[in-house]
Structure 1
Amino acid sequence: MVLTAQRGLCTYCGRSAATTIDHEEPIADRGADIWWNFVPACEDCNRWKRGRSARRWVADMDLHHRYPKAGFATRAMRPAVYAGITRRVERVQREIADMDRREWFRLHYGGERHRNKPELYEVLARCKAELRGYPHYPWRTPKLGTSRNVCTRWMCCGYQHPKAEYMVAFLEHEERDAFRRAVFNERAHEGDVLGRLIREYLLGKEPEGDDDTA
């Protein structure tokens, strides 16, 4: 859940892929070891930040640029980059705190377990690939119903609809992406649009009469 926030990028530099989870307020400074204190970070930024809060790190980098020989920070970023850290941290923490987002990840990935980093990265890659398949954030779409155990998001798991029937459609990659974008713009579920197109197709077909050769 945390590593996919900020589009999977580091909260601090905003450029590198996030591969670690950082405590924004360090544990050493009585920061909480809980999700609302987590932010995604790349390994370099996590290491350079060390035991400082994001605000303290920004202040140290600012002092480093003013007094480079004083040793306030190592590997300081350019001012244009670190000036946005506080804003990015606040935005990421709001994103992670989103109740709908948390519920979606709990229902889809809450049962995932990993014993080491390679397994974690495997789950993360699978999750990112799934999210790239949506032209939207699935947790922002309406629900078909209320359930604590099953996702019922309209544009994500609409197959939970009681009248749903499973079908397969063959599309080229570009056609599939164009269809998903069109469906998203219409704020509908893919299954609903396909069903409507099929019904329109059937209504447009002329009924075949019996051959009258008598």
Structure 2
Amino acid sequence: MVLFANGGCCVYCGRESETADHVIPWARQGYDGTDNMVPACKSCNRFKSDRTPAEFVMAKSHPRLWPSPGKPSGSVSLRSFYEEADKECRRTLALIDKVLAEIADETRQQWFLDHFVHLGTVQSRGLESVDWTRAFFCSAVERACAAGWPKKKQPRYRIVRDQIGKVLELIPDEE
């Protein structure tokens, strides 16, 4: 579900997402909830490591704006370096907030549960390949997006074992 947020792109660089990144890293008491995960490419996830988003942006901006120790590139002053890094940090944090709101959308979560919960997680199937996951889910997500997903609520069913011949039963909306 996280991999397909932000159009399936890394929140940090815009390339295709390959992994889910902890916004607040494990090393900083982050956790595995979807409200702490964003899509990322392997390169950005590896470089971000145990940094916060602000630290990541500073580490990424520093070599570009201030390539060698003690010597800014061109006419970059210390003030302009911090202003540029602050602007980039705010842009990144705004995008992370937008993606986290997309992931938290209950209609979107329900759609994923209705369509894919029967498959379990990638780890529970003994598969560790994000490529397999992306290939498997991508066509269903694309078809759903083209159809205006997730506009209408899908009916939910439960397995019924107490009536002979009846396997599924519609779950009422209020339940």
Aligned residue for 2:139?
A: 129
SS of 2:6's equivalent in the other structure is helix
Q: Aligned runs of 1:16-35 on 2, under 5 Å?
A: 16-35=15-34
Q: Which has the higher contact order (CA 8 A, sep 6+)?
A: 2
SS in 1 for 2:119: coil
- Aligned pairs, number: 138
What is the TM-score with the length of structure 2 in the denominator? 0.68
| In structure 2, distance between residues paired with 1:44 and 1:6 | 17
CA RMSD of aligned residues (A): 2.7
> Within 5 A, what are the aligned runs for 1:170-209?
none
The corresponding residue for 1:41 is 40
Structure 1 unaligned blocks of 5 or more: 72-78, 151-214
2:143 maps to amino acid: G
Contact residue 24 and residue 36 of structure 2 kept, 8 A? yes
- Structure 1 length-normalised TM: 0.56
**Is 1:10 aligned to 2:6, yes or no?**
no
User: What one-letter code is carried by the residue in structure 2 that aligns with 1:88?
Assistant: L
- Partners of 1:2 and 1:40 within 8 A in 2: yes
**Which of 109, 115, 118 is the matching residue for 1:108?**
115
Is the Cα–Cα contact under 8 Å of residues 112 and 123 in structure 1 kept in the other structure? no
State, as a whole percentage, how many aligned pairs show the same letter. Answer: 30
Q: Which runs of 5+ in 2 are unaligned?
A: 71-83, 160-175
Flag as ranges the 4+ runs of structure 1 deviating above 6 A: none
State the 1:144 CA deviation.
6.7
Bigger Rg over Cα: 1
Offset at 1:93?
A: 0.6
Q: Deviations over 1:103-148 (max 9, x none)?
A: 1111111121331223x53232122111222424422x13375x36
Equivalent-residue separation in structure 2 for 1:11 and 1:149 (angstroms) = 36
Greater strand fraction, Structure 1 or Structure 2 = 2
